[in-house]
Amino acid sequence: MLKMKSQFLFILWMAFLIIGSLNAVRAERCEMSESVPCVLKPRIINTTDLGADPDDEQSMVRQLVSANEFDIEGLIVATGCWKRSQSNTDMLDKIVEAYAEVYSNLSVHAEGFPTPEYLKSISVMGQRGYGMSDVGTGKDSPGSDLIIASVDKDDPRPVWVMGWGGMNNIAQAIWKVRETRSPEELAKFLSKLRLFDILGQDDAGAWIASNFPEVFYIRATSVYGWQPSKEYLVEHIQSHGPLGAVYPDTKWATEGDTPAFMHVYPNGLNDPEQIDQGSWGGRFNLSRKESIRSMSEVHKIEEEGESKFDPYFMYGNTEEGAEAIKRWNNGYDNDFAARMDWTIANRYEDANHHPLAVLNGDKTRKVLHRSAVPGSVIELNASGSLDPDGDALNHSWSIYEEPGTYKGSVAIQNSSSTRAKLEIPEDAGGKTIHIILELYDNGIPNLYAYRRMIIHVR
């Protein structure tokens, strides 16, 4: 058994080294070029307590049909307060097998979908027990080992570890690095982590935030209220091929874990590092909040399970809650529906595809920044935007008030045209204004692309 584990780790390490080198080169080229479409995919690891609630299976289907937008580096079967033990990857394997059946179709419609073989290689068991009781000496798992290997890759991008269940896989990884490396090496390891947990589902998150306060940690608690209807799911998702067949009916709530990867979805709407900007995954306060508690079941399992780590601090949702997600519902609903169409269409022309939004000549998906003075006029130009299917494009320019610091009225002239203008108010000095270009085609379903420009008023 020890020999097999060593062989697994060696193969995983070599694969990560090769992929890491390629991604480092890609990152450098992306930073050097402003003239061609370029997207640095976010690196993510999903930990999921499959079997606790059908919503994990639902979120996994959405994740896999959008897998070309991410560098998925791990799919780890995890535990949590609703599934306190795990023994195998069978449920995960079933969904990946369904993906394998539609992989060839998906690849017709977009580049970058990971091969089924690759996804199988990163589908591993994590901690088999619950919370901090399964963290410590002799508790390493393929999941915690994978997290360490991913963070150690020669790749400048951070690693987003998404907790769809508990967080003890990443806790074990951090514990192992602390025990086996120097303080400087631990600091380097922690600096590359971006943690995002859904609702808090064990005591490990509190342990991490308390003992390693420098770690970037989001706990999302407003993850319900944005979801599509049952009718939508039946018509657009569950009726569509092998992946639709493994998208189960809702038992308690639909896709509660989806906001984790939606926060880093590279669609031009936000920079995930700037958590107050707002995205398909919600909007979060820049000030950390003290002791955001996990779901009530964690307290029932151990009354002092989290409070014994007080004080600990995490980033939490803004007062908008799920409304910060729901404001983009046409975009993410139609994106999912179109991608499910891709799974059953083996010809490019039989489905709709996303437009490319160009903002003032910039073809990337980066958030743009520019300075201005009160009373000046900012010209906004979406010329060069295109639709790969030749569909007509609709333009909508708007002010996203919540993340901006200027709270007065701002008017955009010609807000539904390719070119628009904005006059900076005289009293906006020292403030920021967030402008959103929302571009959508007239295909079926309408597909959206976004760009954001932040005006810094001197």
Lookup: tokens for 146? 């994978």
Q: Under 8 Å CB-to-CB from 28, ≥6 apart: which residues?
A: none
CA dihedral of residues 262, 266, 271, 276 (deg, nearest 10) = -20
How far apart are the C-alpha atoms of 427 and 405, rounded to whole Å?
A: 12
Q: Where are the alpha helices (DSSP H) in 162-217?
A: 168-180, 183-191, 204-211
Nearest Cα to Cα of residue 316 among 300, 335, 294, 299 = 294
CA distances (Å), origin 206, targets 82, 406, 429: 17, 35, 40
Q: Which residues of the chain have pLDDT under 70?
A: 1-39
pLDDT of residue 452: 98
Q: Which fold has domain 37-339?
A: Inosine-uridine Nucleoside N-ribohydrolase; Chain A (3.90.245)
Q: Over 253-322, what HEC string results? A: CCCCCHHHHHCCCCCCCCCCCCCCCCECCECECCCCEECCCCCHHHHHHCCCCCHHHCCCEEECECCCCC
Tokens 């539904």 correspond to what residue? 416
Q: Which fold has domain 353-457?
A: Immunoglobulin-like (2.60.40)
**DSSP state, 205?**
H
239 residue type, one letter = S
Q: Are 260 and 62 in contact (CB under 8 A)?
A: no
pLDDT of residue 38: 58
How far apart are the C-alpha atoms of 450 and 168, rounded to whole Å?
A: 35
Burial of 151 (0-12, 13-18, 19+ CB in 10 A): buried
pLDDT of residue 66: 98
pLDDT of residue 39: 66
User: In the chain, what is the greatest distance between 2 CA atoms, to the nearest angstrom?
Assistant: 71
How far apart are the C-alpha atoms of 249 and 238, rounded to whole Å?
A: 9
* Phi-psi domain of 384 (left: phi exceeds 0; alpha: psi -120 through 50; beta: other): left
| Parallel/antiparallel/unpaired status of strands 43-48 and 289-290 | unpaired
CA dihedral of residues 207, 213, 217, 218 (deg, nearest 10) = 90
| φ and ψ at residue 48, rounded to 5 degrees | -135, 130
**CATH topology of 37-339 equal to that of 353-457?**
no
3-state SS assignment for residue 248: coil
Q: Under 8 Å CB-to-CB from 319, ≥6 apart: which residues?
A: none
How far apart are the C-alpha atoms of 213 and 191, rounded to whole Å?
A: 11
- Domain positions in the chain are 37-339, 353-457
pLDDT of residue 98: 98
pLDDT of residue 31: 43
How far apart are the C-alpha atoms of 33 and 6, rounded to whole Å?
A: 41
pLDDT of residue 40: 84
